[in-house]
Structures are given as C-alpha cells and as structure tokens.
Structure 1
Amino acid sequence: MQRPNVVLIMTDQQRWDTLGCYGNEVIQTPNLDWLASEGTVFDSAYSPSPSCIPARACLLTGMDPWNTGILGMGRGGERHMGIGFEHTLPGELAKAGYHTQGVGKMHFYPQRSLNGFHHTVLDESGREEDPRFTSDYKQWFERNKTGEYGMTDHGIGWNSWMARPYHAPEFLHPTNWTVNESLKFLKQRDPSKPFFLKTSFARPHSPYDALPYFFELYMQKNLPKAQVGEWAAMHDVPKDASSTDAWRGVRSDEDIRQARAGYYGSINHIDHQIGRLLSYLKGSGLMNNTVVIFTSDHGDMLGDHHLWRKTYAYEGSAHIPLIVKLPKSMGRTVERTDAPVLLQDIMPTVMEAVGLDIPQTVDGKSVIGAMKGRSAEARDFIHGEHSTCYSEEQEMQYVTDGRVKYIWFPRIGTEQLFDLSSDPYELTDLAQRPEHREQLAAWRQRLISVLEPRSAGMTDGDRLVSQAGKPFVKSPHYAERLARFPLPF
C-alpha cells in the first residue's frame, strides 16, 4: 500500500482561541471544527519563537530555535531563514518518493529557494527581498484584476491594527488564490507518488481586510473584548500607540472591535476556503489515506494587554491551534489532549505517521503518542524564546506546561508567573506574591536547565543572568550554516 499523503494547512498569525473547537462561540469555523471532530485537538500547542521566520524554521526542520540559529526577527536574531538545513520536512519526504509542493507563504530567503520542496507557488504579501522577485500571487493579481487598482489600495499596512473590508473582487483575494493553487496541484500532481502539500495562507495576519460579507458579519456580532492584565500599564505608551503599525499602546474599544471584526472575518473566510480543499480530498477518495494537519506559526495579541502583533510570550501571541487527523487505518485517537507541544513536533509526527526514520537533527517529538492517549510520553514542559524586536524590554524566554507559565525578560531582568488553569488570559501576575515564591523558583529552575547547556552567559547554573547592556546573544548555528551555504544577496 502507498504511504499516506500529507496535507499541512497553515495560517499566519492565528491565535489559539479563534476556532469553534477551542471554545469560541462567536466565530464560525465549521470546516476546521469538522476536521477537529475527526482528529485530535491539542489544547496546549505553542510557538517556540512567536514570529514568522523563526517559527517557520522550526516547523520546516523539526529543530529548536537555538539549533536553527534563528532566535527572532530583530536586533538579537537573524532575519533570514536562509538555506543549507541538512534535513527538512519536505526534503525528507521528497527523498522518500513524495511529490512535494508548497503553496502560499513560505517566508524563505532567498525567496525562490525550495528548502526541500519540488516546487513552490508563492504569495509573500509585500515582501520583495530578492533582486527582481515578484510573487506568483502578485503576478496573477496584476494579470486578472478588473480595473486600475493594486493589491494594497485599501490603504492598510502589512502590520497595521487598522481594518476595513477588502477593496477588490472576492476572486482576487489571496485566501481564494491559495486554495485554487492547492487544488490545481492536487489535480495535476504525479498520481504514481504519495504527495506532501503545504497550503500556507497569508491571513489572518494584517492587513485585517476581510471580504465585505465577513467584515460586516462580525461588525454586527458581540466580539470578545481585549483582555488587559492588572500589570499591563507598562504598555500604555502614547508615543508608540500613535503609529498606524503600533506594537503597543491603548486604542479605543471601537478600534479594537474593528480589528477583531476584520481578523475574525478573515478566519471565517479561510475556513470556507479550507472547506473546498477538504471537500476535494473527500470527493476524490484521497482523505482515506491522508494525514491532515492544521496549525499557525504564532498568534496575534489583538489589543490584549495593550499589545498588538506577536513576538511575546503571552497567550495571544504564543498559544496556537493544532489539529491532527490521521487516516482511520492508523487506529483510534483521543479527541483532545493537553500535552504541551511545539511546532518542531510536526516534522517527527509526519515522519512517524508515514513510516520514515526521524533524522538525528530533529529536536521535536512526535505527537502520535499523545494522540493515542500515552500521557507518559508527554514532556513536563516546553520552552520558547524571542530576541529583541520592537523594544529591548520585550526580549523574552518562557516555559510552560499549558497550566502554568513562567516568563523571563533578560534585558530588563524581570519575570512573570501565571496560573493558566484559572487565569487563561494572564490577567494576574503571581511573581511578586510571597505564597508563590517556591513555585516561581521551581519554574525559574526549569528555564535555567534549558539555557545552561548553551553556555551563552544567560545563566551561571544557579541563577538567571541579566543581559542589560550586553551584546545580543546569538546562536552559533546560524553563522555555521551561513559559512557552509552563503546567501547570494
């Protein structure tokens, strides 16, 4: 029998609490909720480095951020994924005889690099970082538009909190294009081989430009308000808030409501288009022998704690959706699991599901044990990090088991502790409360145990060492890979 096919569906910047199967009673996501009913929902899935490039590098390679060498998208991290990874998920599947295709946002650099795919068809939003690069979507948009307008004539930036309905005909929206190109691949692929398809949407990442139907639908609904912790006044900075691309600051309830209407509408639209993809898999008989995975690279704060976008350890930014459906021939799986998991776990999960050896470079762990109810195989906790991006004070390290979260800010020397079981939106910081002193110390020690083997000066083995005023910590693995495979530009 042919190895199982694999379809990996990925959204960009979608937080965990924006699906019906995660308890959201406002948003409409019937297709993903159906997928969840057929597979396993991971209630404690996290991004190991919650911004686009470092998170996607972890998914691509199955490696931790320290080993990919990409710790963020700012002054302390390397901005480009680059090439030269010894093992990638599409590369290993291609070597095993799979026909591999990437559709949508890859965020590779160079932008036409394949990183193991046989072929990519790209929507890279506004990124044109290579000489003469124009994305396939943009070329298609320009050929098919019905008037004298451009992709961004709605006037909203790629990282803005602003929102409004999409300005062009529905068929031109990148969400539709991404599924159309995915269906084209499924119909034109090599039928003699199993396939790996990554369908990667550029939304609900800004711009929050939902189609008019979906935007108006959610403007009429009672949307969740922003969650603001008792500690969040530190992010009330009027100067920062004044930017249309603000990463923090107090915005009006109406601004937040419009942003959330655009964001929710984008997700509803994506769900409709995913329905087309799932319908084809079912109608063609492919679903019976296909592993289907849905996830996102990171979340979006959407005004929670006066913050926007990503890079933070907080739930809105770091907590992501993850749904995995195995073919029925692989046996029953649990409906939900609270095992803490990360994006780098997707590669070994796929490798185990299709019967291939997991490369030694992989740091992630297959989640199939958790899906089968083998709780003893779960980690005690997971670790995430992000280097300085918007501001030095936001550089962070975090550890969590999905029930408790500890955050350390190396550049300002502070820490936070949250009880996620009773406080899922992190409204109450327990770090300074005497009754939580022992718990705080225990979680701090867990972070020390992760950082000590790096010998990067962040801990002396007994305590965490402030990085204030010091050079940014960089992983040596990025420079090592760059020396072997220099970037061409």
Structure 2
Amino acid sequence: MSVIKYLLTPLFLSLLINAHAQEQPNIIFLMTDDQRWDNLGCYGKKEFVTPNIDALAEKGVVFDKAYYAVAICMPSRVTMMTGRYNSNHQVGFVAPTDYTLSQKDFQNSYPAQFKKAGYRTGFIGKVGFTVTEQAKRPSTPTKHYYKQQMGEVFDFFAGSETTETKGHVIWPENDAGLKQIYDTNRKNSGRTLRTGEAMLRFLETQPQDQPFCLSVSFYAVKHDHDSHIYWPHHEQFESVEMSVPDNWVVENEVLPKVVRENARGVRLHKQRSSTPEKYQRLVRRFATQGYSVDAQVGKLVDYLKKQNLLENTIIIYTSDNGRFQGAHGLFDKCLLYDESVKAPLIVYDGRATVRPYRDSALISSVDIAPTMLSLAGLKIPASMQGRDFSGLMNGQQNRSNWRDAVFFEDLFVAQLFNERYNEQVDLINDRLIENNKSYRSHGIRTGRYKYFRYYEHFPVIEELYDLQEDPLEQNNLAHNSAYFELLKQMRKRTDQLYEQAHKKASKAH
C-alpha cells in the first residue's frame, strides 16, 4: 500500500482524530453562587474547611488580586461566559441595562466556541440569565425555554433559572442516570450533592475520543434556608466561633447617605447579620455549604484520576460575586467594596510543568472566557473584551505590559428591580436620578489603590482607599488633600477604562 493510500485509510484518520483529541485539554469551569473570596481555606480562613479546593490551589495558580467586573449574579455570569463588561453586553436586572442575551451574542460565548471546535459541552446548575433570539427587555421573563435557547450549544444539560424548583430541565431526556438524580420521588440529598452527581454523570457518559468543556454552576452557597443545608456537613461547624472582621458593624453611619437610604444591603443586614448571633448562624451555614461544594470537588478530582483524565484537564474555580456578611454594615453584594467585588480564582492545569504559585497580577472576571479558549488553543472572538492571562501562568507574558488597573461597575438599583415589569420603568429611572436616589457606581483597582464614584449622584460621591495600609476600606482618602494628585489620576484612568468597556455596546440593543 502506498503512503498516500495509507494516510487516507479509516484506521489512520481515526488515530489522527484520537491523537488530536488527546492534545486538546479538557476544561472544567466551577462556579459557586455568592461565595466570598476569603471564605476558603486557601485564602487564609482555615475555619472554612475546604481541603479539596485547597489541594487544587496547592498544585495550581492562586490569583490574589482577581476582581469581578460586576458583582451580582446575572450580569456577572454573562460577563464570564462572553468576556464582555456589563456596560457592553447590557444584560442585567434593572433598566436601562435589562436586556436578555441574544442568540448572536451567545454564539460568541466560550461554551459555543468550544462546541464549534468539536468539544462535547455540558452545563449543570444555575443558569441565571436568559437567551432569546434577539436581545429584548425585560431580562427576567416569566418563562424560560432552555432547550430551545441553548440546545445547540450544550450536549448535556441539567439546570434551571435560579433554583431546582424553578423550571429545572435536563437533556439528553432519555439519560436514565440524569433522570434518577433528579427524580422527585428519591430521598432528598440536597441541591449541592445532586449537582455533584450530575457532574459525575457527565463524565461517565463522556466519549473517550472527544475533549470536553463542562460548566458547573453550584446553587450554593447562596441563601441559608434549612432546605439548602446538607445537615451532616453542618455538625462540624455548630460550635465553631467564626471570626468576625474588624469592619463588621451594627450600623454604618459613614456610608454615603444615598447608599444608607436606598441600597437593599442596609436593610438586609438589619434582618440577617446585624447581631453577633445572626452573624454566627449565617456564616456557619455558608461554611457548611462551602464544605458541601468542596466535597463535590474532591469527588470530581478522584474520578478524573481514576479515568486517567486529570493530566489533560484544566480546572478553574471561582464564584459569581461576593457577599458582605455584615462587613461595612451591609449584607447583599453589588457595591464596590472588596467583600463584594474581590473574587476567588484558582486555576489548576494538569498539563502544567510550572511550579504552583500565587500571583498578584490584576485579573478581571472579563478575562476568564478568553483565557479558557486560549488554554485550549482556540481563537478568541473579537467581541471579547477581556485579556488572556494564560501567559502569566506559563511565564510567556511580559508583566510590564500587563494591565495597571481593573475596572468594575455596579448598575443595580433596588427600586428599579421592583419595577422591572413596569412599562414606565425608564421614566422611573430618570426620576430616581433627578431625585438624587441613584447609587450606580464604577471605579478601578490598581496595584495598591482603589477608587470608585457614584457617578449619577449630584455632587458625585467619591471613595479612595489605600488597600496596602487599609485593606478593610475604613479610611476614605478622597477628601485628603495629600492625595489630590492621585485622585485626579484615578479619575482619569476610570474614565479611560469606562470608555473602553462601554463604547462597543451591542448594536442588537
């Protein structure tokens, strides 16, 4: 047989395809819900028992200055899927940036790009946003059609809008294993354990000759209702005195008046975290849910090892936003203090020959999608605004050319969330701004300082912190004359980064 004829035989082509599949890494993206960056052992809080996540951190890269481009679930999730800023994709809870994600934009998300590249794709857990043929308002329709919206992108799906009780959908519909996991008649093992079971089911059904990209969006650690707790895991935390940060206060009179009077985090703090007893109960329950997630991560790694998949798999661990837990006299998220906008970010690369380390480079959640594609050797769509940070991990990035600041924004206004189905919502928004009740904000973090401003308020309210000397953001330097030149520089840099984030807003809107 001639060489050319041999190269065209089914056997050779099959070997070639299998070899190519092995060269392409598997990607697993793990995201929790509302898990604060420091609620993990590897970020210094050993009272949060997370041995399996800590083990990934010890063998991977831990980013100590990772930030959310936006710190509330729906827009944050879309930012991480599309690599675009909230001001750009305009998917959020409240007017005027309350659009669904168009099919066109979804096709430029990382799962769609992996699917086009021949990967088997899976999604498990909380979706948190809606895809429609064209972007439309409001972003929170009363009904979802996930199979119609996402069926072409995900080969395997077990998810819902926000909870398993809200329109949970699975496919392949004939997968007996999936049906059993989510059978309403089986003994309730809890939402986190079910997510772990579905994650393993995806791997059990994975063809050997195809790489995969699996996105797992845990419902935990959001909320602390009894039904969300796997009680056998709570026993170890029942008597633990959880540490209280020095910026926890019963009531914070230093917060800007517009925040104290309008942001829902103030009200929720009074209800949920404003006494030592409430705080301890709440944080123990968050620790329990974090431990339950950690147990699923352990099962995942064990399975990958047994199937000889770990050495060709990249695991990325993060959350969608932080949670105040009483810090600054707040509960909730959104606002631009570190408890809300600082992110846990761990990248474990089974292929890596680089020694594990901790990195202090400034990373944004907008970077995650382009980095995932780059790690797999795939082309990054022009629509993605984030930067590929894989070069930081493999030593190829010239650090002097890396970014000098990360941009973040908060476009959420609680009053507008209550009016999201009101046809007059844009008029209501205008009146809120006219009446000085808007607390939308944006700003930047540099290597040492953080600056942000409530830009729709008159006069503009500004906050400036030296995070090296004041990591708990207790001393606002914006009115300190010694920092006037720095303040001008931070204003200018914020203007520049906002313009870059906003200027390419989707024409579909």
Larger mean Cα displacement after TM superposition, 27-36 or 333-342? 333-342
SS at match of 2:219: strand
| CA deviation profile, 1:341-373 (whole Å, cap 9, x unmatched) | 112211221222111121211111111122134
Partner of 1:295: 318
CA contact (8 A) 1:12 1:296 kept: yes
Contact 2:38 2:44 in 1 (8 A): yes
SS in structure 2 opposite 1:430?
A: coil
Say whether the 8 Å CA contact 1:106–1:124 is kept in structure 2.
yes
**Alpha-carbon deviations, 1:2-24, whole Å to 9, x = none?**
21111111111111111111111
Q: 1:80 deviation in Å?
A: 3.4
- Cα deviation for residue 127 of structure 1 reads 8.3
Aligned to 2:135: none
- The question of whether the paired residues in 2 share the 8 Å contact of 1:102 and 1:198 is answered with yes
Q: Which runs of 5 or more residues in structure 2 are unaligned? A: 1-18, 132-143, 171-177, 416-436
Q: Which deviates more from structure 2 when the two are superposed, residues 272-281 or residues 211-220?
A: 211-220
Is structure 2 residue 441 aligned with structure 1 residue 396? yes
Amino acid at match of 1:285: N
Determine the C-alpha separation between the residues in 2 that align with 1:55 and 1:241. Answer: 18
Q: Secondary structure at the match of 2:204?
A: helix
Residue in structure 1 matched with residue 84 of structure 2 by the alignment = 63
Structure 2 matches for 1:1-150, cutoff 5 A?
1=19, 2=22, 3-70=24-91, 72-78=92-98, 80-85=100-105, 86-110=107-131, 111=144, 112=146, 113-114=149-150, 116-126=153-163, 133-136=167-170, 143-146=184-187
1:353 is aligned to 2:394: no
Matches within 5 A, 1:189-204: 189-204=206-221
Gap change, CA 1:44 and 1:138, over 3 Å in 2: farther
Q: How big is each residue's C-alpha offset from its partner over 1:448-486, in whole Å with a ceiling of 9 and x where there is no partner?
A: 112346788xxxxxxxxxxxxxxxxxx852xx335xxxx
Asked if the contact 1:31/1:274 (under 8 Å) is kept, the reply is: yes
Amino acid paired to 1:118: D
Deviation sequence 1:423-469 (CA, Å, 0-9, x none): 2221221111121111111111111112346788xxxxxxxxxxxxx
Q: Which amino acid aligns with 2:97?
A: G
Cα distance between partner residues in 2 of 1:188 and 1:346: 27
Q: Is the 8 A contact 2:163 2:219 kept in 1?
A: no
**Are the equivalent residues in 2 in contact too, given 1:300–1:317 (CA < 8 A)?**
yes
Q: Give identity over the alignment, percent.
A: 28
Q: Residue 236 of structure 2 aligns with which residue?
A: 217
Letter paired with 2:350: P
| 1:312-331 superposed Cα distances (whole Å, 9 cap, x missing partner) | 11111111100011233x43
The 5-angstrom pairing of residues 396-475 of structure 1 reads 396-412=441-457, 413-452=460-499
**Separation (CA, whole Å) in 2 of partners of 1:233 and 1:63:** 29
SS of equivalent to 2:464? strand
Instruction: State the Cα deviation string for residues 269-325 of structure 1 (Å, max 9, x = none).
Output: 111121111111112111000111111111111111111121111111111100011
Which aligned pairs between 1:150-189 and structure 2 lie closer than 5 A?
Answer: 169=188, 171=189, 173-189=190-206
* Alignment check: 8 A CA contact 1:383 1:397 kept: yes
Compared with structure 1, are the counterparts of its residues 82 and 13 closer, same or farther at alpha carbon in structure 2 (3 Å cutoff)? Answer: farther
1:89·1:116 contact (CA, 8 Å) conserved in 2?
no
1:387 partnered with 2:406: no
CA distance in 2, matches of 1:294, 1:61: 17
Distance in 2, matches of 1:366 and 1:14, equals 24
**1:138 & 1:394 partners in 2: Cα distance?**
45
CA distance in 1, matches of 2:291, 2:410: 29
Between Structure 1 and Structure 2, whose CA radius of gyration is higher?
Answer: 2
Question: Does structure 1 conserve the Cα–Cα contact (< 8 Å) formed by 2:125 and 2:216?
Answer: yes
Q: CA RMSD in A?
A: 2.9
Q: Which runs of 5+ in 1 are unaligned?
A: 147-168, 457-474, 483-489
Amino acid at match of 1:55: S
CA contact 1:53–1:73 (8 Å) conserved in 2: yes
Tell me the residue number matched to 1:368: 390
- Separation in 2, partners of 1:239, 1:118: 40
Q: Match for residue 4 of structure 2?
A: none
**Is contact 2:263-2:413 (8 Å) kept?**
no
Q: Distance in 2 between matches of 1:79 and 1:304?
A: 31
Residue matched to 1:335: 357
Q: Distance in 2 between matches of 1:138 and 1:385?
A: 40
Report the number of matched residues. Answer: 432
Contact 1:248–1:308 at 8 Å: present in 2 too?
Answer: no
Q: Which stretch of the first structure deviates more once superposed, 193-202 or 361-370?
A: 361-370
TM-score normalized by the length of structure 1: 0.81
Q: Determine the C-alpha separation between the residues in 1 that align with 2:77 and 2:186.
A: 31
1:388–1:395 CA contact under 8 A, matched in 2: yes
1:79 offset after TM fit, Å?
Answer: 5.5
The 2-side partners of 1:305 and 1:248 are apart by 15
- One-letter code aligned to 1:367: F
Which residue of the partner structure matches residue 266 of structure 1? 289
SS for the counterpart of 1:398 is strand
Contact in 1 for aligned 2:181/2:198 (Cα 8 Å): no
SS of equivalent residue, structure 1 residue 306: coil
Query: For residues 37 and 138 of structure 1, do their structure 2 counterparts lie closer, same or farther at Cα, with a shift above 3 Å needed?
Result: same
The structural deviation recorded for 1:214 is 3.5
In the aligned structure 1, how far is the partner of 2:45 from the partner of 2:241? 12
Please name the residue that 1:464 is paired with. Answer: none
User: Which deviates further from its counterpart, 388-397 or 176-185?
Assistant: 388-397
Query: Match for residue 424 of structure 2?
Result: none
